């Protein structure tokens, strides 16, 4: 039997009052939010990750994001805003975790012949040379996007560059790389 616990109006109001206080670094407000909806938010994360350890990581990261971004809350349903943060964080963790799972090394034997190996090595050298033609900022954005599988928003958060600027940097870098590789 699944039991759904609905937030009462007073709990909704409490969450909405606490988020602006969290933006002002009120630790008690953060504890109040955690005690009020932490278990429910863990359930949201658990529903996405299907793994308690990953769900707990998502919840922890979500509360860190809450502290960092509480000032961006524009009103409305604070609980829905928190659920969105938890959902997106859980999805990112799940995606990151899936990318880190390695394949069995035995599956790589006999996949290519020596000719393919030589061609791949030549391609790797060309890519390395092309990357050296980019500025440091372009290289970082390309590296984060294609080698670390970051989204544009994650790159913007990591580099403290506006999202639109990150998009432009990546676009220009891709053009430079294409020109060099042709």
Per residue in 125-161, pLDDT (tens digit) is: 777 778 888 888 998 888 778 776 788 998 898 889 9
Domains 9-100 and 117-181 share a fold: no
- On whether the pTM is more than 0.75, the answer is no
Q: Which residue has the higher pLDDT, 169 or 95?
A: 169
Task: Answer yes or no: is pLDDT of 21 > 80.
Answer: yes
pLDDT averaged over every residue in the chain: 82
pLDDT of residue 167: 95
Which sequence spans correspond to the domains of the chain? 9-100, 117-181
- What six digits make up the tokens of 41? 């938010």
Task: Answer yes or no: is pLDDT of 57 > 90.
Answer: yes
Contacts of residue 21, defined as CB under 8 A and 6 or more positions apart, other chains included, come to 28, 29
Question: Residue 108 is inside which H or E element, if any?
Answer: none
Task: Answer yes or no: is pLDDT of 5 > 60.
Answer: no
**What's the mean pLDDT in 101-118?**
50
Q: Which residue has the higher pLDDT, 104 or 94?
A: 94
* Range name among 75-79, 81-85, 146-150, 151-155 with the lowest pLDDT average: 146-150
What CATH architecture is 117-181? Orthogonal Bundle (1.10)
- What six digits make up the tokens of 112? 């290519």
Reference 22, options 59, 60, 68, 58; nearest CA is 68
- What six digits make up the tokens of 118? 């030589």
**What is the spatial distance between Cα 35 and Cα 16, in angstroms, rounded to a whole number?**
14
In order of 39, 137, 154, 158, 167, the CA distances from 171 in angstroms are 42, 12, 16, 18, 6
pLDDT of residue 2: 35
| Band of residue 60 on the pLDDT scale cut at 50, 70, 90 | very high
Task: Answer yes or no: is pLDDT of 116 > 60.
Answer: no
Contact assessment for residue 107 and residue 35, using Cβ atoms and an 8 Å cutoff: no
**What is the spatial distance between Cα 129 and Cα 180, in angstroms, rounded to a whole number?**
9
Reference 170, options 148, 149, 140, 132; nearest CA is 140
Task: Answer yes or no: is pLDDT of 34 > 70.
Answer: yes
Instruction: Indicate the CATH number for domain 9-100.
Output: 1.10.1740.10
Task: Answer yes or no: is pLDDT of 165 > 80.
Answer: yes
Q: Which residue has the higher pLDDT, 131 or 64?
A: 64
Reference 166, options 149, 182, 142; nearest CA is 142
**What is the spatial distance between Cα 86 and Cα 101, in angstroms, rounded to a whole number?**
22
pLDDT of residue 109: 46
Q: How far is CA 35 from the centre of its chain?
A: 25
| Band of residue 65 on the pLDDT scale cut at 50, 70, 90 | very high
């Amino acid at each position: 039997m699944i039991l759904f616990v609905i937030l009462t109006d007073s709990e909704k109001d409490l969450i909405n009052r606490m988020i602006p206080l969290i933006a002002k670094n009120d630790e008690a407000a953060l504890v109040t939010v955690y005690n009020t909806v932490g278990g429910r938010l863990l359930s949201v994360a658990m529903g996405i990750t299907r793994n308690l350890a990953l769900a707990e990581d998502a919840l922890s990261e979500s509360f860190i994001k809450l502290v960092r971004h509480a000032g961006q809350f524009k009103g409305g349903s604070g609980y829905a805003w928190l659920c969105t943060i938890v959902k997106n964080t859980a999805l990112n963790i799940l995606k990151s975790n899936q990318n880190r799972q390695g394949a069995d090394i035995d599956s790589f034997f006999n996949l290519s012949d020596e000719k393919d190996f030589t061609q791949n090595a030549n391609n790797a050298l060309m890519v390395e040379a092309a990357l050296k033609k980019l500025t440091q900022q372009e290289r970082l954005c390309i590296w984060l996007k294609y080698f670390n599988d970051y989204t544009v928003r994650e790159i913007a958060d990591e580099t403290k560059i506006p999202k639109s600027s990150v998009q432009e940097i990546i676009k220009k870098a891709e053009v430079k790389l294409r020109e060099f590789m042709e």
